[in-house]
Amino acid sequence: MTTATLVRQSSSGTTRNSSATMSDMVLVRWQRPQRGRLKCNVDASFSDSLNITGIGICVHDDEGTFVLAKIVSISPMCSIVVGEALGLFHALQ
C-alpha cells in the first residue's frame, strides 16, 4: 500500500498541519502491521463554520487490504486533544 501523509515536524514531536509550507513537511508512509494483525488509523477534523468535529477510522489487514471504516460527527466542536481522544475511543468501541 502506498498511502502517505504529509506532516509538519515540531520541537514537541510530529504533528499534522495542513497549513504548513512544503519545506516544513516530511513524508510518512503507511506501514503494515505484523502478520496476522490489523492496523487502525484514526484522524479528526474540525469545522469552525459547522461547529462540528469529524472523526475518521480505517482498519487494514497485514497486506494493506481494507477491512472496515467508520465516521463519527460530534457537535459542538471540541479541542484537538479531545477530538483525537474521542477518535481513539470510537475506534476501540
Give all strands (DSSP E) within the chain, no chain letters: 4-10, 13-15, 25-29, 39-47, 52-60, 66-74
In order along its 93 residues, the chain shows pLDDT tens digits of: 444 454 444 444 444 444 556 566 778 787 889 999 999 999 999 999 999 999 999 999 999 899 999 999 999 999 999 999 999 999 998
Residue given cell 515540531 in the structure block: 10
Q: What are all long-range contacts of 11-19, with beta carbons under 8 Å and residues at least 24 apart?
A: 16/43
pLDDT for residue 25: 72
**CA quadruple 20, 11, 84, 69: dihedral sign:** positive
